[in-house]
Amino acid sequence: MRSKLFVPGSRPELFAKALAGDADAISIDLEDAVVEARKAQARESVRAFLDSPDAAATRKTIIVRVNALDTAHFEADVAAVAQTGLALINLPKPESASDVQRAVAAVQRAEERNGVTAPIGLLLNIETPRALRLALEIATAHPRVAGLQLGYADLFEPLGIRRRDPAHVRSVMFATAMAAGEAGVYAVDGAFADVGDPDGYRAEADMARGLGFIGKSCIHPRQIALANEAFQPSAAEIHHAMKVVQASQDAQAAGAGAYLVDGVMVDAPFVRRAEAVMAMAQAAFIHKQETRA
């Protein structure tokens, strides 16, 4: 999931267009992108889309960001969107393990009512100071947690923290990456609001990838190519990963635990990273072939 495109839930005319684009995932938003007066209408539009042939046929990851637990819309959102074909529910502003468990219970009830047999995962936003402090607790709250996603605006703006200072961004990226790593889930980077600054987006995406994030959110189609490029392994990385994996196989056959690749000592952690790089490259190749088809 190198790129994840936000689509307003109140704009159903954009759903099919987003599916036809180059983003690895689409994230339909029922929260911030939808004004209060249109919440119910947007919810019904998303439900209808999830039940459509387009949604059933796509290989993209479909995500829906629902409204937060403490709103009047959360239960209705989950009841409507917990449908076959939905991969993830993006939960805004969870602040504890109990929040996650409440959300899971609501999802399970909706799945039972809607006849969903494949469990829907949760992508949890880290976007409050408390959530950042308790990120590990949140990430390990339930097996349905698939990943953590940073929400910079809600995390920084109320506190007057400068969003465009790389040091601030890096510090919360690192904390989130460590929590996700310990929990065994992935980390996805948040949105970059300045659509007219591709260099700024690219720099932030490069930083996120360097800290182990798997992808970045996009609020405009122009950002998709930037994210895909940033999180796509280069030819040199793929070549090196193949050498590491081959060297590992050779070493195992020879009974060696550590060995050299290009003059650098390599052991199990490096092999796991190399295997991850090769998996990323394969996933990107499959997505490219499907997009062309």
Predicted local distance difference test score (pLDDT) of residue 259: 78
Residue 193 burial by Cβ neighbours in a 10 Å radius (0-12, 13-18, 19+): middle
Q: Tokens 């060995």 label which residue? A: 259
| Terminal Cα distance for the chain, rounded | 19
CA distances from 278 to 59, 242, 243 (A): 20, 7, 11
268 CB neighbour count, 10 Å cutoff: 10
For residue 31, the 8-state DSSP code is S
Predicted local distance difference test score (pLDDT) of residue 285: 59
Length of the chain: 293
Cα–Cα distance measured from residue 227 to residue 2, given in angstroms and rounded to the nearest whole number: 6
Degrees to nearest 5, angle at CA 185 with 229 and 57 = 60
Enumerate residues 6+ apart whose C-beta is below 8 A from 41: 10
Q: Tokens 């635990």 label which residue? A: 257
Cα–Cα distance measured from residue 229 to residue 262, given in angstroms and rounded to the nearest whole number: 26
Helix (H, G, I), strand (E, B) or coil at 68: coil
Cα–Cα distance measured from residue 253 to residue 2, given in angstroms and rounded to the nearest whole number: 35
Q: List per-residue pLDDT tens for the chain, 293 residues long.
A: 999 999 999 999 999 999 999 999 999 999 999 999 999 999 999 999 999 999 999 989 999 999 999 999 999 999 999 999 999 999 999 999 999 999 999 999 999 999 999 999 999 999 999 999 999 999 999 999 999 999 999 999 999 999 999 999 999 999 999 999 999 999 999 999 999 999 999 999 999 999 999 999 999 999 999 999 999 877 777 777 787 777 788 778 878 777 788 888 877 777 777 777 777 767 665 555 555 55
Residue 59 burial by Cβ neighbours in a 10 Å radius (0-12, 13-18, 19+): exposed
Predicted local distance difference test score (pLDDT) of residue 10: 97
Domains of the chain: 3-230 (3.20.20.60), 235-292 (no CATH)
Is the Cβ–Cβ distance between 159 and 129 less than 8 Å? yes
Per DSSP, helices labelled H in 141-219 are: 152-156, 166-183, 198-210
Is the Cβ–Cβ distance between 189 and 208 less than 8 Å? yes
> Of 131, 241, 137, which is closest to residue 185 (Cα–Cα)?
137
